[in-house]
Structure 1
């Protein structure tokens, strides 16, 4: 049973290119399936979150992260009476636009693209699902429903001011109403992203030896979860102890989002998805108390993980990879694969060429970017 504020397949605003719908799958199921079968989704397997792919097989990749986000998102959506299929579609697609080397690669590419309209991974995800995936006979992209595209574009909130080039380009053809909030389903996907990375960055940081359990014992939520495990299972094997504590951290965040959302929805009583979009504030959020705790955890992770000397050293190295490849491809387009050279031949001007080069580099996996840099520029790949 869906809540009145949930998105219903039968009420979809449809696809840019009309299609006959399936007799067996809802339109949002089909969106989810198209995302899973896309080339960009498969490439997430070799794009990492914080650590570069060769640093270890057990760290999260963009793919495992996206799957974890989708799992959390479905749980929260189900508890709130939302459409789980739409929620999952947005969750699985939310990182499709990420470059190799995580946010480091995005920062480098954004700086290089500043003269050409900039680069933003959410906007790039829209470009991928509406243009760069080229498998279907009748259209470029995946021809996703309006609701899924809206969720990808603005799951983090309304998008205002000067729009990223890729988002502005598509929105001019297909208005995603960027000034409003997204559906409750997309808002759930955004919070599920926060929950997943807050939890797994603690786990990956511990695994990498950037900090220890003793270092995080004083952190809010985390310390209490470790104490709870120690009380219930004294002398537990260290790996099991870590797992038991961090799964409790996970549970605290999920439980808080559900409880807070239920309170907001009970207070505001939206009767439709449109009411949610025009509420003027998110309906899916952490409580103020938990958000304050999470800010302390994020500050710790920023100092001890994202800015750790070993991580910063790799950040500098991979920044040079992106900074080397971008101007090289701009100058020597014959180095691009044939299908990309065909796009270059049809590109009207320098900005269009830069966007094609950015598309190509953004689609690279960590491994391929390192290999291409080594092959073309003699860097260490």
Structure 2
């Protein structure tokens, strides 16, 4: 029989003390407010689209590579473990993790960079802000409001980064960037759970794709330590079982360090409540310095040997060409957009001029899956393809 869950720490986020929703709603009868947030995210159209959006490898390159959807689920799993161990709000961390990539473009960071370049004269494009835009405005589900009407704390956690210029447009949500305050501990957990997940599963996908090898990875301390432990216990182990055994131990190693070091930080800072967490001079959720150094070393290795591998760069180049040509065509000739998006572009241009039209086009492209973007590109530029 499992033990009853521990009560939340005094500095944990509690939905009864939430800053609320943009549009007041009757409280849920059988769920917490953060459970309602999580459930709305899971039922959203943008969440379903993540299954066909690139993490590192374009979806059609293989069925077993991570997508934005599986990445988000892995991030949420790691965050729940950390939050539970620290007596923080597990459901809030989970909701933030499941929503953090809802605004991501097709083709991963390559698509984001291309769309940002296209939007340079119209306010730029950043996927964290777009994720917030998705949950605040673009999702169409409810009669009483646009978007998902999530709680302040979930929306705050989604907004991982924000320029001062953009923060000034976001009211209370942008204040922490202007005043250099911290988000909730649950949001801080989501941030680092994201890093843990992509460091380890991008390594796994890089191995599966043949971009890197186990022998090469043995030069990376974080990998080598766990590899040596596994080989000492299972000297005959090889193939996928060896890789999985090493990676699961790597995740356990950094997660354990994060939990234990954060617990020490919290004991030292002794925040009385969430507002004391927000007022802290720096984030309280953090790795120990030795593990942080190893974590960053693995990130640098992946940057050099996976993300900058010529096969990945070729995909990046294609993504740039597809996204850029889609934007330029739809922006200069909005009558080529599907009827619904033509109407939105016309409305937004009437309100804000060319920047409004550009934002409508960016919303349309950002919402595409990889394969839909490829199909739209073919419809526009391949004479043999039916429109």
| TM class, shorter-length | over 0.9
Question: 2:19 aligned with 1:23, yes or no?
Answer: no
Asked if the contact 1:146/1:176 (under 8 Å) is kept, the reply is no
Q: CA deviation at 1:178?
A: 3.0
Give the gaps of 5 or more residues in structure 2: 1-6
Distance 1:299 1:214 in 2: 17
1:34 touches 1:142 (CA, 8 Å); kept in 2?
yes
CA drift at 1:375: 1.2
Q: Is the 8 A contact 1:47 1:102 kept in 2?
A: yes
Aligned to 2:280: 279
Distance in 1 (alpha carbons) for counterparts of 2:176 and 2:384: 42
TM-score scaled by length of structure 1: 0.95
Alpha-carbon distance in structure 1 between the residues aligned to 2:342 and 2:13: 41
SS of 2:149's equivalent?
A: coil
The C-alpha deviation readout for 1:64-113, integer Å capped at 9, x for no partner, is 00000000000000000100111100010111111000000000000110
Aligned to 1:68: 74
What corresponds to 1:220 in structure 2?
Answer: 221
Cα deviation for residue 287 of structure 1 reads: 1.2
Instruction: Report matched runs for 1:132-143 at 5 Å.
Output: 132-143=138-149
Mapped partners of 1:372, 1:129: distance in 2: 25
Is 1:177 the counterpart of 2:175? The answer is: yes
Alpha-carbon offset, residue 36 of structure 1? 0.5
Residue of structure 1 equivalent to 2:356: 352
Alignment of 1:256-267 (within 5 A): 256-267=257-268
* Structure 1 pair 286–128 and aligned structure 2 pair: CA distance change class (3 A): same
Residues 210, 308 of structure 1: 8 Å contact kept: yes
Give the alignment's TM-score, normalised by structure 2: 0.94
Deviations 1:337-380 (A, max 9, x none): 22212212212210000000000000100000011101101299
**Residues 21, 27 of structure 1: 8 Å contact kept:** yes
Partner of 1:188: 189
Q: Give the conservation status (yes or no) of the 8 Å contact 1:110–1:120.
A: yes
Whole-angstrom CA distance in 2 between matches of 1:120 and 1:353:
17
Q: Secondary structure at the match of 1:162?
A: helix
Q: Partners of 1:288 and 1:93 in 2: how far apart?
A: 29
1-side partners of 2:19 and 2:128: how far apart? 21
Asked if 1:119 corresponds to 2:125, the answer is yes
1:325–1:160 CA distance, 2 compared to 1 (3 A): closer
Q: Secondary structure at the match of 2:175?
A: coil
Structure 1 residue 176 displacement after superposition:
4.5
CA drift at 1:160: 4.6
Residue 51 in structure 1 maps to residue 57 in structure 2: yes
**In 2: Cα distance, 1:185 partner to 1:140 partner:** 26
2:3 corresponds to which residue?
none
Shift of 1:307: 0.5
**Following TM superposition, by how much is the alpha carbon of 1:162 offset from its aligned partner in structure 2, in angstroms?**
2.4
- CA drift of 1:201 comes to 0.9
The CA RMSD over aligned residues, in Å, is 1.5
Change in CA separation of 1:284 and 1:379 when aligned onto 2, cut-off 3 Å: farther
1:93-104 alignment to 2 at 5 Å? Answer: 93-104=99-110
Classify 1:217/1:175 alpha carbon distance in 2 versus 1 (closer, same or farther; 3 Å): closer
- State the alpha-carbon separation in 1 of the partners of residues 157 and 190 from structure 2: 8
Q: 1:380 to 1:112 in 2, by over 3 A?
A: farther
Deviates more, 1:60-69 or 1:218-227: 218-227
Q: Which residue of 2 aligns with 1:161?
A: 164
Question: 2:379 pairs with 364, 368, 375, which one?
Answer: 375
Q: Deviations over 1:113-153 (max 9, x none)?
A: 01001111000011000000011000000000111111111
Paired position in structure 2 for 1:131: 137
Q: 1:290 aligns to what?
A: 291
Displacement of 1:177 after TM fit?
2.6
Q: Is the 8 A contact 2:156 2:173 kept in 1?
A: no
3-state secondary structure, aligned to 1:13:
coil
Contact 1:48 1:100 (C-alpha < 8 Å) held by counterparts: yes
CA contact (8 A) 2:346 2:357 kept: no
